Structure 1
Amino acid sequence: MQLSGEFDDSRMGEAVRLIGMTLRIEHYSPSLVPGYEHLPTIHVVGQSDGASIVGQPRHIHGTVGVVADGSVRWTLFSSVEGADVDEWVSEGVQVGGVGSAMGFLGMWTGAQHERMDPLGKMPLLRTNVY
């Protein structure tokens, strides 16, 4: 089943980049999810390596929190240091739930959600915040 022919081009390929990231907890806020009030939303900030050897480091900020079914959701925004608006956003679900060190799986796209923004998968990212 083909959903769209817009990207049906044999010259296009998939790219994989390993990008290191360092995050620290900036602050906590109360969870607004009924039944999970004991698990705060964690606000993180940090930096990632550039997307290439000569790429600029990127500023990262976002949240780690619980959704209605108890899954842990990661939302991370990134931009070039000093930029006024975010460029990329990553959304993912932590594998193994609260307390798991497995990491999270998700997707990334443009932070402004414009029509022609790329959309990519994020393979397992190793994390250990919760």
Structure 2
Amino acid sequence: MTAAAFGDFSVLVIEDEKFTRMVLAKMLGTLGFKAVHQAEDGESGLAAVATHDPDVVVCDVEMQPLDGLGFLKALRVSDNARHRGLPVVFMTNRADKDRMAEAAAHGADTFIVKPATPDNLREKLSAKLG
């Protein structure tokens, strides 16, 4: 998928580390997304989904007070059918099988082991949005 191919889509980045969130937002912007929204944890991520209605979410797993799994669980029981089916790409430093299995059981679509790069973001997001 080329940068222009992402131009019809918006993305929400949920990441508690401000610098990492800014870097991710910049990378996603250079990939051509029409809008890149940001949230600092799962709670603000749920509010951002309600406000911005993104097409895909890139979400850190380990955050406080509401982590990525908590965000995903809440999203999957939303009253909004579009939000229940929203593609979620998890980012993690720890890609162990138990964590990945738990996230997949709650509807995580795919994983990126940190640090994210433009290439692995393009690959994972193309698969979800293509």
Using the size of structure 2 for normalisation, the TM-score is 0.28
Q: Rg: which structure is higher? A: 1
Q: With CA pairs under 8 Å and 6+ residues apart, which has the higher RCO, 1 or 2?
A: 2
Using the size of structure 1 for normalisation, the TM-score is 0.28
Q: Which has the higher strand share?
A: 1
Q: Which has the higher helix share?
A: 2
